[in-house]
Amino acid sequence: DQATLIDQVKRVKEIEAIESDIFVPQSFRSSKEVKKSAEPPELQHEAVNVGAGTTEAAAPEKEPAAASIPTAIKYQDDNSLAHPNLFIEKAAAEDRWFQRLVALRQERLMGSPVA
């Protein structure tokens, strides 16, 4: 029960971090090494020799205080399924695109690489 509660807390915090405005995509990290530690003992010996990071992943985590555990996911907008930037007005979107196009052309004319 306690392990699932910790997993639920992690999941809620990760979802809130993804929905925040300061979210930065990160490279994918596989959990395959963590799952190898749950294999039978005869196979676990091979996994320990192959993967050096399995001992760190098996370290016990600190339990969060009961008062700081979120019980529900807070969404930024209850009525929307998409990011608010997708709902800007067409004129504003065209203006932003035109400014971006001008900036790209200026960079190209100055000789700097286009992003």
Q: Please state the domain extents for the chain.
A: 1-76, 77-115
Q: pLDDT 10s per residue in the chain (115 long)?
A: 677 888 888 998 888 888 888 887 778 887 777 655 555 555 444 444 444 444 444 445 566 666 677 677 666 655 667 777 788 889 999 999 999 999 999 988 888 665 5
Q: Is 101 exposed, middle or buried (0-12, 13-18, 19+ CB in 10 A)?
A: exposed
Check if the beta carbon of residue 74 is closer than 8 Å to that of residue 19: no
3-class SS at 76? coil
Check if the beta carbon of residue 64 is closer than 8 Å to that of residue 12: no
Which residue blocks in 20-75 are alpha helix, DSSP H?
Answer: 32-36, 41-50, 54-57
